[in-house]
Structures are given as structure tokens and as C-alpha cells.
A and B are shown apart, each in its own frame.
Chain A
Amino acid sequence: MSDPAATIASPAARQLSPDMPGKGRSVQIFQPRNLASWVFLWGLAFGAVAAFRWFQPVSIAVGTATMWASVLFFLYLLPWLWFLRHKDRRTPIPAKVLIVGFLWGGLTAAFLIALPGNDSLMSIYGKAVSPEFAHDWGAALAAPFTEETGKGLGILLLMFIAPRIIRLPFDGFIVGAFVGLGFQIFEDVLYAANEAISGFGADQVHAVMQTLMLRGATGIFSHALYSAVYGAGLVYLIGTAVIPVHRIRGIGYILAAMLMHGAWDAGSAIAGEIGVAPLAVMAGIGLIELVVILLIGRRVSRGERAWLREILTPEVDRGTITQAELDALVGSGRERRRFIRSAHGYRDRRMARHVLEAASDLAEALGASDGHDSPEARFARSEVERVRCGAAAG
């Protein structure tokens, strides 16, 4: 397979192609001429209604559990947000796109699509095959289709709502992760409430803690990362102005996401089938999935780094940043830390960190103007110089 970075259109040294990723652009979710925008907003509204209809009686029946689950899973969400924003630190996707993606995952994918889809599909398996088959394999043969498709539709629609934002597989990866995270958090609250209901609402806090321990511990192999892989696959499958269509790779990534989801849900049944303890099987599946996700994540992030290098290379020629700063900016976290530590003294290290941040802002400003020397780009460039000079003067 060719390197995704190599597939990016190569613009002229100074002026970027209009097809380059428009990071830093503002985006409108409602676009009257865009049918994807209408369907997205329509889906969000119906998802919100479906979620309300589910939560309204549940919050009366097991209000304590619902409240505690909401608070605790919100706290559980914070490190995930930090992790994903850190991964997307070089050229962050606008928060508006990530927030609506999160809401699509939590409201539309979970309550409008997955909840009725899973229930009916598992019931059909029970009737068509046997209740035992549905008990063993029902979740594994329902969720990868209903849940991954439900979340994937949000990513698909956002690709057509924000085509200048979601252009690289890495963008699909990050947007997918946020859609999946929304699904995961709302589903966790739903699970905690269901656990409390199944205990007749008697010991609600215990039910929430039990769910938090189980779902929190296994969350790393869950929706956020499956959808990240799915999102990268969608970008390859559909193609963008920057990435040509790679059908096989796209379908491969999407199938990998569904397969990983199915394998995780089938862990118990697989353990029974091969006569091994369920915990050992789940650990094995989790380990394999983690490796696959890390490999795919590393691969798609290379494309983003290539874009960053391309857009900032003229700034090295111009003297705004040094080659070493550019290398640190597009490098791994370890390379970035090594560059900052190589500076002498606290003040220089702080300056190095601030220059990298200012250079990242400059990349966004240039991306937003297709590489043109816009007022925003000039301001961002002056900020790089100000940070550097300010540190030198201080």
C-alpha cells in the first residue's frame, strides 16, 4: 500500500492548491442548499426526541442512577477529550464539527438507530434461529451493523457538510472518534440506568458504580476507536479533493471496525466455543484490537504531518521558523519533547514550546486561506516572531 502522505496533491511552493485541507476555516452546519446538512439536522432532532422519550420515564424510575451516571460518565469523558484533542493538536478540527459529531453519536446513532435496530435484529435472530443463538451471538451480529452504520452515517454527512475540513483520513479518524465517543458516553449512561432498573431500582448507586467499573475499564476498545477507524475508511472509500478514492483500503478499514466490534461482543461466546476463560479471550481480543487501531492511527496521522510540512516549508525558506522547529512540529510527541528539552534553560524551553504553538496557528491560518497571505496569516506570522523576540528580550 502506498503512503497516504504521498497521495496528497502537491501544490506550488508558496500558494497551496484550493483543494488543500482548509483547517482553521469556519463551517456552517446548516446550509440551505446542502441536502446532507438537512438530513444531518433532521437526524439530530429526531435523535434528541428519541433520547428524550427514553430518558424521561427512566429519570423518574431511577433518577439517582441517571444523575450519578451522567456526572460520572461526564468525568470519564474528560480524559478522552484531552487525549483526542492532543492527537489532533497540530491542526485541530473546529470544535463545532466535533460537538455536532458527538451529539450525532450520542443521540441519533444511539437512540434513533441502534436502540430499535439492535432490539429488533436480536429478536429476529431469536425467532429465525433460536433464543440460545440470539443469546450467544445476537449482540455480535447486530451491533456491528446497526451501531457502526449509525455512527458512520454521521461521519458521512459531516464529510459533505464540511468538505474543506474533513479531507484527510486523519480528519475522518478524529471526527469518527468524537462521534463514537458521543455514542459511548450516552450508551454508558443508558447501561447504568438499565442496570439500576434490572435491580428494581433498589441500589442505584451500586448499579452505576458496577457499570462504571465494567464499561470504563473496557471503554478503550469501544466505540470511539472503532468509529475512528471507520471514519478513516470512509474518507478512503469516498475520496476527497485531496485523497483519491481507495475503495479496497476504505472498505478494509470499515470492515476492520465492524469486525473488531463484533469480535469484542462475541468474546463470551467465542470463549465458550473454544473452552477458554472469557476474561482471557477478551484480553486477547482487546490486545489484538489495540495493535490494529494503533497501527491504523499511526498510518493516517502521517498524512496530516505531510500536509503540515507542506504548508509550513515556505515559512522555513522565509525565516519565520527554523527547519528544526518544523521537524519538531510535524514529528511525534517524543520528537517534539526532545526538541523542547534541547533548549537551554527554562526560558528557552518555554519559548520553544510557544513558538511551536504559534507556528501551528500559522499553519491553520494559511490553511484557511488556501495558502494565501491573508491578514490572519500575517498576524499569525507576526505572533511567531513576537513570541520569539519577546522571549529573547525578556
Chain B
Amino acid sequence: MGVDRRTIPPAIVSIVLIALFSLVLPALDRSIDHEREIEAGDVVNLGSGITFVPEVGWGLKDGLLVGHDTVSRVEEGSHLGATLVHGGVTFTVTTGAFTGTPDELLDRVHSLNEAFKRVDSGTHGSERVTATTDGGATGVAQSFTGVNVDGVITTFVIDGVGIEFVVSGPPGSLDVNTDAINDMIASLAADRPEVAR
């Protein structure tokens, strides 16, 4: 009992196209290592009028810069993110609508991280401390340490927008970049003066 030969071409076409979209394209994407190197004067756009100043020399893997305009307007209420990398350290910013306190936001972040298993179960978190931006906004920061990772999560809430910074890297990698990391977080700003608090 052989295969019905008429059904072979559609089967092969389907297998090839499924493999193209689910395996080949992701592999191709991973193979392209591309970052936009941050230059003096660059500012990252997080939407809703919120920005921060990235460290010169770091690589922008994902995110939009102020002044590098998009055709489709970044809407008033839109929430953007960004990812920067440097020497094994990954600096990720996520924004979204949030009306609670920075402390509550950090609780939410922990519960999402747990659900998505973003952090090893063996990772140990420190006490929460206050973080402050140059503009005077206050947030909450918490360091975490694991066998293979060091990191810090910092949260702010500005005018109904929750902002989460996650910085992580191999043990010791954050220490040599402490000033750059703190400067970037402190540069967080809202372009509407009345909303910065």
C-alpha cells in the first residue's frame, strides 16, 4: 500500500514553508548580531513622553531613539521598551499602564517573572531600597544574586505609566558598570514637567 502520489507536492510545500517560518527565519534572526552603538546626544524614547539617556558606547539592540522619527506617530499613550547591551550586561526597560506605587509594581514584576521563569529559583533578592531620578521621581530598587547571575530591578511610576528596569549579567559584570547603569536610570525623565514626581 503506497502513498497517494498526488498528495506528495502539497505535503512537501507545507513542510518546507512551516520549517521556513518556524525554524529558518528565527535561526537567521539569531545569526544576525546587530546593535546600534549609542552616540553622544542619543536619547531613548519610551513613549508617553518618557525618555532616558543611554550610556555612550553601549549597544542598542531594541528600541527607538528620540529624533530618529518614525512615520507612524508614537502615540501619546503608547508604551515602548528598549534593550541595551555592553560587556555581558543586558539593560532592559519595559513600560506599561500602571496606577499603583513603585513598590506594588515591583510586586507585580516579581509575580510575572515567577510565572515566566525569567529568574532561577535559586536566585536571592536583597532588601528593597529607594531609587531617585535626576528629575526627582522616586522608585524602588532590588538587587538579586544567583549562581550565574547578578542583577537589579528598579521600578518607577510616572503619571500612570509603570517603568521597569532590569539589569543583569554574569557575576561581577554589574560592578564594573555601576556608574553607567545608575546614570541611565537616573536620567529617566518625562517631558511634561507636571507629571514628573
Bound CA–CA A197/B34 (angstroms): 27
Which candidate, A90-98, A266-274, A302-310, A355-363, is the interface stretch facing chain B? A266-274
Identify which of A110-118, A168-176, A249-257, A383-391 touches chain B. A110-118
User: Using an 8 Å CB-CB cutoff, how does the interface string of A12-45 with B read, 1 for contact, 0 for none?
Assistant: 0000000000000000000111111111100100
| Pairwise interchain contact B62-A126, C-beta atoms closer than 8 A | yes
Which residues of the other chain, A, contact B79 by a CB distance below 8 angstroms?
198
**Known A38-B11, A128-B32: A272·B71 in contact at CB below 8 Å:** yes
Complex-state Cα separation, A326 to B54, whole angstroms: 73
- Measured in the bound complex, the distance between the Cα atoms of B15 and A272 in whole Å is 39
Asked if B1 is an interface residue, CB under 8 A from chain A, the answer is: yes
Instruction: Please name the 5 residue pairs, one residue from A and one from B, whose CB atoms are nearest each other, closest first.
Output: A117-B21, A61-B115, A120-B29, A35-B11, A127-B34
Cβ-defined contact, A132 with B68, below 8 A: yes
Point out residues on A near B: beta carbons under 8 Å: 31-40, 43, 50, 57-58, 60-61, 108, 112-114, 116-117, 119-121, 123-124, 126-128, 130-132, 135-136, 146, 149-150, 153, 156-157, 159-160, 197-203, 268-269, 271-273, 278
Tell me if A131 and B63 are in contact (CB < 8 A). yes
Q: How far is the CA of A124 from the CA of B27 in the complex (A)?
A: 11
A33-B7, A146-B21, A157-B11 known; 17 new pairs, CB 8 Å cut-off, are A31-B4, A35-B10, A36-B11, A39-B11, A40-B14, A43-B18, A58-B115, A128-B32, A130-B68, A132-B70, A135-B70, A136-B71, A153-B14, A156-B13, A157-B10, A202-B100, A268-B73
Cα A36 to Cα B13 in complex, Å, equals 10
Q: Is chain A's binding surface mostly helix, strand, loop or mixed?
A: helix
- Could you tell me the distance between the alpha carbons of A117 and B24 in the complex, rounded to whole angstroms? 9
Interface centre among A35, A60, A108, A135 (most CB of B within 10 A): A35
Q: Is B26 an interface residue (CB 8 A)?
A: yes
Complex Cα gap A137–B97 (Å): 25
A149 touching B17, Cβ below 8 Å: yes
Contact across chains for B97 and A199 when beta carbons are under 8 A apart: yes
Given A35-B8, A160-B6, A160-B10, A136:B70 Cβ within 8 A? yes
Q: In the complex, A113 Cα to B111 Cα: how many Å?
A: 29
Interface residues on B, range: 35 or more
Per the bound structure, the CA–CA distance linking A50 and B23 in Å amounts to 13
Q: Which of A39, A112, A126, A268 lies in contact with B15, CB distance below 8 A?
A: A39
Complex CA gap A108/B90 in Å reads 33
Q: Is A121 touching B96 in the complex (CB atoms < 8 A)?
A: no
Considering the complex, give the chain B residue whose CB is closest to the CB of A149: B17
Q: What is the CB-to-nearest-CB distance from B159 to chain A, in angstroms, rounded to a whole number?
A: 15
Set A31, A34, A130, A157: member contacting B14, Cβ < 8 A:
A157
Chain A residues in 8 Å Cβ range of B7: 33-37, 160
Kindly identify which residue among A200, A203, A273, A278 contacts B164, using a CB–CB cutoff of 8 Å.
A200
- Residues of B5-51 whose CB lies within 8 A of A: 6-8, 10-11, 13-15, 17-18, 20-23, 25-26, 28-29, 32, 34, 36
**30 contacting pairs across A/B (C-beta < 8 A):** A34-B7, A36-B14, A38-B11, A39-B14, A40-B14, A43-B18, A60-B115, A61-B115, A61-B116, A117-B21, A121-B25, A124-B28, A126-B62, A127-B32, A131-B60, A131-B63, A131-B68, A132-B64, A135-B72, A136-B71, A146-B21, A150-B18, A153-B14, A157-B10, A199-B96, A200-B108, A202-B98, A202-B108, A269-B70, A272-B73
Nearest-CB distance from B115 to chain A (Å)?
3
Report the minimal beta-carbon distance from B130 to chain A, rounded to whole angstroms.
20
Chain B's closest residue to A206 (CB) is B97
Residue of B3, B10, B15 most packed against chain A (CB within 10 A):
B10
B4 to chain A, nearest CB (A): 5
Across-interface contacts of A58 in B (CB, < 8 A) = 115
